[in-house]
Structure 1
Amino acid sequence: MKSQALAEILINPYNHQSVHTTEALNFEDTSGNNIPVFNGIPDFLSLEEVNGLNKKYQHLYDRFSRFSNIAERIMALFIDLNRLRRKWMTDVEVRPGYKVLETSVGTGWNIKVLPDFAEYYGLDISGGMLRQAVRNKLKWNREMQLFKGNAEYLPFKDHTFDSVFHVGGINFFNDRQRAIREMIRVAKPGTRIVIIDETAEHVRKQYRRIPFVKNYFSSEAEEVRAVAPVDLVPAEMRELEVKLMERGRMYQLSFRTV
């Protein structure tokens, strides 16, 4: 996507000022704050010092990103991952011409299984995962515009997207309520928002047994967050629904904006 056209939907998420392109092909807000672009990815995280749980799990995903595609290939020997992801994506609304946003896009595998007649945008806090996403989209010949940023501060103007979804990660955001409100803010009226993440039981039985990641999931105080955050969805949202998937290992929270 050309920088000038992209600038039309972007803001500095920390002051909500509009942005424009610079001669160096970066972005800049009206106060002169610079948003650098690396490998085609605008880096809005350069405006923030990451801390708390966000920093902890950013570190985890940066480490894991080096092995993500290898892990995908090994898992694919036992599970049809494309079929599994299509099942997860069943309630994500995608129609021709839609602008679709995935927060915590990771390496892009969820977007891969969605129809190619929409415009896809993905944001992640992990530079390592985004680097893998760039490689994947070239390998798959799949268009998706990527951003480095914090899902609690989305760098998009109000009412930009026709569909918004999230798979994995929100359980351990610093501020889950703010992240949900940001999804709502950037969605058009009537947009369906879908949030999927692991349940506490899955975190306890699976992640705490994996040597590489178990130390990141050792806190019981964090484990209690691994439930569908229904209470954080504004009361005025419509069609609120929660369901368990994969034999209780995952939950899906969905609703429609007003």
Structure 2
Amino acid sequence: MNIRELAPMLINPYNHQSLHPVGEQHLEDVSGNRIPVVKGIPDFLALEKIGGMNRKYQRLYDSISPFNDIAEKVISFFIDLDKLRSKWMADVEVKPGYKVLETSVGTGWNIRVLPDFAEYYGLDISGGMLQQAVRNMEKWNRSIQLFRGNAEYLPFRDNTFDSVFHVGGINFFDNRVRAIREMIRVAKPGTRIVIIDETAVHIQKRYRKIPFVKGYFNNGTTDEMRALAPVELVPGNMRELEVKLLEHGRMYQLSFRTV
């Protein structure tokens, strides 16, 4: 999708002004703020200086992005990852013609197991992960429009998407309340939102034992509390609120429907 086709659904996420294309390499709002488009990916982080935990984990994912898919292939020798992800994605609503957004899309492996009759959009804070996602989509012959940005400031107009989901990452967002409110804002009325992340037990058993990444996962009480389904952060007027555990308690799933 070229930027002229994209522009009508986009906003500057920091001031909510409309965007218009400037050639094929930039989007611009009425205040003159410019968003570069790099190899077809609008880079909204050009307008934000990332800090806090968001910066910490951006560095982690940029660092591991060259090895992410190698790890996926190694694990696939022991576990059917497509089957596993299909179970995770079971409650993500996808119908023909739907606009489906994944925040923290990573290298695109969740999109791989979803039906190809919808329009897919993915946002991630890690440029390294997005570069790998581009290669994966070409390899799998799948189509997705990618964006580099902060999930706490989504660059989309209100009521844009028919389905919104997130897998992994929200536990350690700087502002989980804002991230959830943003998912709700860009979803159409009646949209099902699905949020999946790892539980404290799984983080303890897995990531805190891996030398390269264990420093990113502390042992503090704050981290333990964040690795719980953030039910209290969902606005009280949302419908069909449900929490369940996946994969023998290694993951939680929080889902609800917008009004």
Alpha-carbon displacement from aligned partner over 1:16-36 (angstroms, at most 9, x marks no partner): 000000024311111110100
Q: Which residue pairs with 1:140 in the alignment?
A: 140
Q: Which residue pairs with 1:8 in the alignment?
A: 8
Query: SS of 1:67's equivalent?
Result: helix
Letter in 1 for 2:210: I
Q: Which residue pairs with 1:228 in the alignment?
A: 229
CA contact (8 A) 2:2 2:40 kept: no
Alpha-carbon displacement from aligned partner over 1:188-234 (angstroms, at most 9, x marks no partner): 00000000000011111111011111000024122320000000000
Q: Which residue pairs with 1:157 in the alignment?
A: 157
Q: Which residue pairs with 1:38 in the alignment?
A: 38
1:69: how far off?
1.0
Give unpaired runs (5+ residues) of structure 1: none
Give unpaired runs (5+ residues) of structure 2: none
Alpha-carbon displacement from aligned partner over 1:76-109 (angstroms, at most 9, x marks no partner): 0000000100010000000000000000000000
How many residue pairs were aligned? 258
Structure 1 CA distance, aligned partners of 2:218 and 2:233?
A: 24
RMSD in angstroms over aligned alpha carbons? 0.7
Query: SS of 2:69's equivalent?
Result: helix
Structure 2 CA distance, aligned partners of 1:148 and 1:42?
A: 6
Structure 1 CA distance, aligned partners of 2:71 and 2:111?
A: 18
Q: Which residue pairs with 2:76 in the alignment?
A: 76
Structure 2 CA distance, aligned partners of 1:158 and 1:47?
A: 20
CA contact (8 A) 1:196 1:250 kept: yes
Q: Which residue pairs with 1:194 in the alignment?
A: 194
Query: SS of 1:69's equivalent?
Result: helix
Structure 2 CA distance, aligned partners of 1:223 and 1:174?
A: 15
Query: SS of 1:222's equivalent?
Result: helix
Q: Which residue pairs with 2:180 in the alignment?
A: 180
User: Identical aligned pairs, as a percentage?
Assistant: 73
CA contact (8 A) 1:230 1:253 kept: yes
Q: Which residue pairs with 1:251 in the alignment?
A: 252
Query: SS of 2:9's equivalent?
Result: coil
TM-score by length of structure 2 reads 0.98
